[in-house]
């Protein structure tokens, strides 16, 4: 594309038809806007950047007029690039003829964009680059050949990509000799480029706030914790709450510690952060294809806190609210999207808004099938809870010892968990993995 914008005549001589539209899709913060700017910068052509939300107004016809004006300006200085951010604001799939109502302004704006893209002459070197986080909800007319027929996925970076991004942002900051960027890259799967930039900046802010002229590993750790856990809250738990939170978080940690296939434990803390009274951190690997045994282990870990409260305190608390939400969402994905249900088997349920029936306000699946899916979800969750209960009952001595250590120290690293478990069970200091 860059080469075409630089030398369009070479391609016209051969008779090649260059795509007029490119769709960049991917999670927020993965650099879609930066990629579009980079293409324009490399090609040295004018760059028109707009957000699709700017076209949607209260008065019908305003958005369409703005689209016409934008394309006219781009054609006058061609070759050029038009970048439309968050195109799903106007490009969402249009309602079927059977539905009532609709957003006339949004649909008129979308129609005008389709007309403008169809109206490109063969010698007009104007390329439209659009970005979205939700390509699945875009209107099919946008994606047909001749419009946005080229798609580029801006995926979350892998470990090597994260390390390169961290090094790039760290090069602009005074870093101490003890900083371990490779370790940070390993511990940040699922982080976008923007997330990683924020971690480096938070570490620099922390160092400056404490009066240091260089960022240390301690600053990076604090910034990482803040990114995934939220800011530390300054208030004191009662002794009773502290004991319950220690049991809850220690139980998460030990289910993961002893259960094959679970994410490796990193550390556990009962220091309140964000909305959580305590947090158990795991070292997750980049995972692009999730096996069933891993999902089931994750469910058991998620329900481990609640199970630990039952084992040691004989009653549960509201502290498991988020755990239950996460576990239920995973179990429902297993049944409705991944075909891991025992009775339903290989079946995929339509996502919200993806079927014609749901667009008309009707259920996308039959009541009987939905009820059976609910039963499957309940069964999977009960099996996961049973696994957690059995694990913690078997290793009750280790749970009591870890909860006691958390009450005393507030934060326990993985290496300390190894020693606590070994001493409690009178075994060598080795992980049960």
Alpha-helical runs (H) found in 210-303 = 217-229, 239-258, 292-302
pLDDT band, very low/low/confident/very high, at 57 (cuts 50, 70, 90): low
Between CA 297 and CA 321 the distance in angstroms is: 19
State yes or no: is 249 an active-site residue: yes
Check: CATH 1.20.58.760 for 239-426?
A: yes
Task: Read off the DSSP letter of residue 341.
Answer: B
Q: Which of 251-255, 356-360, 410-414 has the lowest mean pLDDT?
A: 356-360
pLDDT in tens, 397-409: 999 999 999 999 8
pLDDT band, very low/low/confident/very high, at 284 (cuts 50, 70, 90): low
Q: Give me the residues paired with residue 130 across strands.
A: 23, 84
Task: Output the pTM of the full model.
Answer: 0.68
Our CA dihedral for 230, 233, 238, 244, rounded to 10 degrees, sits at 10
Those residues with Cβ within 8 angstroms of residue 236's Cβ, 6 or more apart along the chain or in another chain: none
pLDDT value, residue 241? 87
Distance CA 171, CA 127 (A): 34
The predicted-structure confidence for 189-227, as pLDDT tens digits, reads as follows: 888 999 999 999 999 999 999 999 999 999 998 898 888
Mean pLDDT for the stretch of residues 14-38: 87
Helix/strand/coil for 187:
coil
- The yes-or-no verdict on residue 342 having pLDDT over 90 is no
Residue 71 predicted with pLDDT over 60: yes
Looking at residue 136, what DSSP letter applies? G
pLDDT of residue 288: 66
Burial (0-12, 13-18, 19+ Cβ within 10 Å), 417: buried
Identify the pLDDT of residue 429: 44
Q: Does domain 159-229 have CATH number 1.20.1630.10?
A: no
pLDDT at 323: 93
Look at domain 1-153 and name its CATH class: alpha beta
Q: What percent of the chain has pLDDT over 90?
A: 40
Q: What is the tens place of the pLDDT at every residue in 374-420? A: 999 999 999 999 999 999 999 999 999 999 999 998 888 888 999 99
Domain boundaries, the chain: 1-153, 159-229, 239-426
Instruction: Please report the pLDDT score of residue 146 as a whole number.
Output: 77
Q: What is the pLDDT of residue 7?
A: 81
Instruction: For residues 331-337, give the mean pLDDT.
Output: 92
* Choice among 107, 249, 309, 385 that is catalytic: 249
Q: Residue 99's pLDDT is what?
A: 45
How far apart CA 257 and CA 240 sit, in angstroms, is 25
- Mean pLDDT, the chain, whole residue set: 84
Neighbouring-strand partners of residue 341: 345
Q: Provide the pLDDT confidence category of residue 369 given band limits of 50, 70 and 90.
A: confident
Model pLDDT, residue 60: 62
**What are residue 84's DSSP bridge partners?**
50, 130
Residue with the bigger pLDDT between 11 and 258: it is 258
Residue 162 makes CB contacts below 8 A (sequence gap 6+) with 184, 185, 188, 191, 196
The SS3 call for residue 304 is helix
């Amino acid at each position: 594309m860059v080469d075409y914008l630089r030398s369009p005549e070479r391609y016209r001589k051969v008779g090649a038809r260059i795509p007029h539209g490119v769709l960049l899709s991917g999670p927020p913060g993965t650099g879609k806007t930066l990629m579009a700017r980079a293409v324009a910068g490399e090609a040295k052509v004018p760059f028109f950047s707009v957000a699709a939300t700017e076209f949607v107004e209260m008065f019908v016809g305003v958005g369409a007029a703005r689209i016409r004006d934008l394309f006219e300006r781009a054609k006058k200085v061609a070759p050029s690039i038009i970048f439309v951010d968050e195109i799903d604001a106007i490009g969402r799939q249009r309602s079927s003829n059977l539905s009532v109502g609709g957003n006339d302004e949004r649909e008129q704006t979308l129609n005008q964009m389709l007309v403008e893209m169809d109206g490109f002459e063969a010698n007009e070197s104007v390329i439209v680059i659009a970005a979205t986080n939700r390509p699945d909800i875009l209107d099919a007319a946008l994606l047909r050949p001749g419009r946005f027929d080229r798609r580029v996925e801006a995926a979350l970076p892998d470990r090597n990509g994260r390390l390169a991004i961290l090094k790039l942002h760290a090069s602009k900051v005074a870093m101490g000799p003890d900083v371990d960027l490779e370790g940070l890259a390993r511990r940040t799967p699922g982080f976008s480029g923007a997330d990683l930039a924020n971690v480096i900046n938070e570490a620099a802010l922390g160092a400056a706030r404490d009066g240091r002229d260089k960022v240390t590993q301690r600053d990076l750790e604090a910034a990482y914790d803040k990114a995934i856990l939220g800011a530390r809250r300054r208030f004191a738990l009662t002794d009773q709450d502290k004991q319950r939170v220690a049991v809850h978080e220690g139980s998460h940690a030990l289910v993961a510690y002893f259960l094959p296939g679970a994410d490796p434990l990193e550390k556990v803390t009962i220091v309140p952060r964000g909305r959580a009274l305590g947090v158990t951190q795991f070292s997750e690997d980049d995972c692009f294809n999730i096996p069933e045994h891993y999902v089931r282990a994750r469910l058991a870990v998620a329900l481990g806190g609640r199970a630990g409260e039952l084992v040691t305190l004989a009653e549960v608390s509201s502290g498991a609210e988020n755990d239950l939400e996460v576990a239920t969402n995973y179990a429902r994905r297993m049944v409705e999207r991944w075909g891991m249900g025992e009775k339903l088997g290989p079946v995929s349920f339509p996502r919200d808004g993806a079927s014609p029936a749901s667009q008309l306000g009707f259920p996308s699946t039959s009541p009987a099938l939905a009820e059976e899916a609910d039963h499957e979800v309940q069964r999977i969750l009960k099996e996961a809870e049973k696994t957690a209960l059995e694990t913690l009952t078997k290793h009750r001595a280790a749970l009591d010892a870890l909860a006691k250590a958390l009450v005393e120290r507030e934060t326990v690293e993985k290496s300390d968990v190894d020693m606590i478990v070994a001493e409690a069970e009178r075994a060598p200091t080795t992980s049960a993995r």
